Chains A and B, each alone.
Chain A
Amino acid sequence: MSEPEVDAGVEAAIALLEAAPGDLGPQLAEADEAAAALRRQPLGALTALAWALPPETPPPQLRERLLARLSGDETQMVSAALLLGEPPPGNDLQPGAGTGAAARSATDGAAPLRAAERAAPRPGIAPAAGPQGGAGKRPAARPSPLPPRPAMPARRWAWPAVAALAAALIAAGALCLSLWRELEGTRERLRQQAADREALAATLAELERERPRGEELQGQLAALREQLALVTAVTTEVCPLRPPARSPVVPDARGLLYVAADHQHWYLRAQGLQPPGDGRVYHLWFVVGDTPVSAGSFTLDGEEAALTSPTMPEGTRAALVTVEPESSLGERPSGPVVLYGSELSRLL
């Protein structure tokens, strides 16, 4: 953008600020494209004044009041629906009428329209009246149940049936006993064979374990050498991680993130951590711009933990460690921040 354009943008932003504030929305929306493009950056710079303020946590009732005012528009539809015994129209933040808000899906954008449709009388289901209803009867919403069948006479056939059943049971029992004995014998033979196989398999497994053990140890040794080289290289950058200044979850936790000169290989070492809780793990995130990128979970070895990888997203400016549910990790952190380090933007 040229200097005159920068000046014009600044002037446009100032003019917008000085405009009558009553209806700023349309002014922001209806300005011509050129003016909007010029003042975009100065306006953004102006909002920095707001961002520099310490945030204020609003009282809970403010949110409730806001939603209550929004819901006021649907009051008539709700009333009409309730008169018909229907659940209120779909609104994900309204209390469900016993069916749960999840039942009204996230795409329920036409809820008011459907509520109106429900409020309209449906053909074929008219309240009972006239010959069926009678003077003192309520209109039937469902067909009345069929009259019960008369009971069958039971005493004449009961005893023969019982006797036949008993005989059948005795015969079945004898057969089962015979089969069971044969089955047990077979099972014993199979158990013995299985035990022999297990013993052989255990021996083979032990032999197998011993063979790659050396390879595994070699691999571990190579990984440790890489980590040592990364940590001790003079070109490696070190970014400290600390608990958040306010409300630290683990006040004694500390971390060091070692980043190799290629800005790809990295090694995290964290200390002073406590068990994260049942079903939870510590998870490392790299922050690119304003977007967190998952970098992996780690478990504790006592109070310490380590994690390493040969890849780091380009443009990483910060790193943070959070506590996350082990089985349902999302694309963004959902748990509290345990460690945080923002010096990457300076180092990388």
Chain B
Amino acid sequence: MSPGTDPAAPPAAAVAALRDLGDAELIRRVADRRQDALGALYDRYAPLLLALTRRIVGDAADAEEVVQETLLQVWAQASRYDSRRSSVATWMVLLARSRAIDRLRSRRVRERAVDAAGDETQGVHTSPEGPAAVWYEERRARVSSALAELPQEQRHVLELAFFGGLSQREIAETTGIPLGTVKTRTQLALRKLRQSLRGEIDELL
């Protein structure tokens, strides 16, 4: 939605002012029942959330519904958000992931998550204009680089857990890898990511 062309859209100055606010301030405004603040969060994170939910559920319509439900949950629970526990981005990502996995399980197509675990080429690669897109791509490049440094087997179990919603035991049963090995690989992957993305985590958190 472009504020300059839609007569129902808020003034461009108001939109620009919201765009300059940090995530924490936007969440505070959402807690104050400010729909424009939720709209600003949507504009900021919808591409990320949609990519994530699409990656998990596979179906575009389901992914869009999950994104919508996530934002509605943010609307409902904004007053309970605590910045000391996670960043807004992490909170929203985990909410979206949670709902997407819920959707996935309800459709009983878990095998799609396993098959899609190595597929990162799905999705529409469109880049919105402006610095936000450039920074997004830069952050994605840095994060991808850190993930690429993980041994493939560690990354695989991490993706099964994160995108597939599988428990460690379920990963072991699905892949045939011993449970102890799954746990070890997951721990090592998280420790390594935590170390290599220390700077990013400070921003993400």
Residues of A within 8 A of B (CB): 6-7, 10-11, 13-14, 16-18, 21-22, 24-26, 28-29, 31, 33, 36-37, 40-60, 62-67, 69-71, 91-95, 100-102, 106, 109, 112, 244-247, 285, 287, 289-290, 292, 318, 320, 322, 330-337, 340, 342
30 A–B pairs (Cβ distance < 8 Å), ordered by A? A10-B187, A13-B190, A17-B165, A24-B94, A25-B80, A41-B194, A42-B193, A44-B197, A46-B162, A48-B146, A48-B193, A48-B204, A50-B51, A50-B162, A51-B200, A51-B204, A52-B143, A53-B123, A55-B123, A58-B46, A63-B39, A63-B42, A92-B10, A93-B8, A94-B8, A244-B134, A245-B137, A246-B137, A334-B19, A337-B134
Known: A10-B190, A69-B72, A247-B127. 11 other contacts (CB 8 A): A24-B94, A28-B86, A44-B194, A45-B194, A48-B204, A55-B127, A55-B136, A57-B126, A59-B64, A100-B11, A337-B133
Report whether A28 and B91 are in contact in the complex, using a CB–CB cutoff of 8 Å: yes
- Interface digits, B119-156 against A, CB 8 Å rule (1 contact, 0 not)? 01001111111110111111110011011000000000
What is the CA–CA distance of A215 and B193 in the complex, to the nearest angstrom?
A: 58
Q: In the complex, are the beta carbons of A52 and B144 less than 8 A apart?
A: yes
* Distance of A178 Cα from B72 Cα, bound (Å): 81
Given contacts A24-B94, A28-B94, contact A51 B32 (CB under 8 A): no
- Choose one: A6, A56, A246; the contact of B51 (CB below 8 Å): A56
Contact between chains at B7 and A95 (CB < 8 Å): yes
Chain B residues close to A by CB (< 8 Å): 1, 7-11, 14, 16-17, 19-20, 29, 32-36, 38-39, 42-43, 46-48, 50-52, 54-55, 64, 67-68, 71-73, 75, 77, 80-82, 84-87, 89-91, 93-95, 97-99, 101-102, 120, 123-131, 133-140, 143-144, 146-147, 158-159, 161-163, 165, 167-168, 186-187, 190-191, 193-194, 197-198, 200-201, 203-205
B203 and A289 form a contact (CB under 8 A):
yes
Q: Is the CB of A53 within 8 A of B71?
A: no
Is B71 touching A66 in the complex (CB atoms < 8 A)? yes
Q: Which residue of A lies closest to B131 (CB)?
A: A333
Q: Is the CB of B204 within 8 A of A56?
A: no
B130 x A334 contact (CB < 8 A): yes
Q: How far is the CB of A132 from chain B (nearest CB, A)?
A: 42
B32 lies within 8 A of A25 (CB): no
Known: A47-B93, A56-B47. A244 touches B200 (CB 8 A): no
* CB closest residue in chain A, given B17: A106
Asked, given contacts A47-B93, A52-B140, whether A92 binds B205 with beta carbons under 8 Å apart, the answer is: no
Q: Are A333 and B130 in contact (CB under 8 A)?
A: yes
Contact of B93 among A50, A106, A287 (CB under 8 A): A50
Let me know if A51 and B190 touch, CB within 8 A.
Answer: no
Smallest CB-CB separation from A100: which chain B residue? B11
User: A41 CA to B196 CA in the complex, in Å?
Assistant: 11
Asked if A21 meets B101 with Cβ closer than 8 Å, knowing A56-B50, A109-B32, the reply is yes
The reply to whether B130 and A336 form a contact with Cβ atoms under 8 Å apart is yes
B54 cross-chain contacts in A, Cβ below 8 A: 56
For B42, the chain A residues whose CB sits under 8 A away are 63, 66
| A331 vs B17: C-alpha distance when bound (angstroms) | 10
Report the separation of the CA atoms of residues A51 and B147 in the bound assembly, to the nearest whole angstrom. Answer: 11
Contact A17 B161 (CB under 8 A): yes
- B49 to A: closest C-beta gap in Å: 8
Instruction: State A112–B198 Cα separation when bound (angstroms).
Output: 43
List, in ascending order, chain A residues with CB within 8 A of B167's CB. 18
Selected from B82, B99, B193, the residue in CB contact (under 8 A) with A29 is B82
Q: Are B140 and A340 in contact (CB under 8 A)?
A: no
Point out the residue from B36, B86, B130 that lies within 8 Å of A93, measured CB to CB.
B36
Q: Are B11 and A101 in contact (CB under 8 A)?
A: yes
Whether B140 lies near A101 (C-beta < 8 A) is: no
The residue of chain A having its C-beta at the shortest distance from the C-beta of B74 within the complex is A25
A57 partner residues in chain B, CB cutoff 8 A: 47, 50, 124, 126, 128
